[in-house]
Amino acid sequence: MSSHAALGVVRSGVAVLKGSGIRINHIAPGQIDVGVDLKNFDMRGMTAQLPPASLQSKESQRANIGLERAGLPTEVARVAGFLASGFSSYITGANLVVDGGAS
């Protein structure tokens, strides 16, 4: 599912879950370095997006990402933890972009 489609599901889910006390949000991660070696990865069909972090040069990351590096899985997990906590009790239907300033 594309990120835009997932956001549509979240937005419609807010209306469906209204009054139930259930919150629904969307996390849109950017380029995340998951530590997988993709040196022999087939790049066909991936022209519309940035390549995986392991295939992108450090210079390219510095040019395209505001924080000049790929994110870490723990950084996305912290956002998910925040959304699951009581600190986000008034957040629903939101799209939290975790991309280091690339968008």
Residue-wise pLDDT for 19-28, tens only, equals: 999 999 999 9
Comparing C-alpha atoms, which of 83, 100, 98 is closest to residue 24? Answer: 83
Residue-wise pLDDT for 48-90, tens only, equals: 555 666 666 778 778 888 888 889 999 999 999 999 999 999 9
Comparing C-alpha atoms, which of 50, 98, 97, 49 is closest to residue 71? Answer: 98
Cα distances (angstroms) measured from residue 41 to each of 29, 36, 49, 77: 21, 11, 15, 26
Residue found by looking up tokens 């889910």 in the block = 13
pLDDT given for residue 7 in this prediction = 86
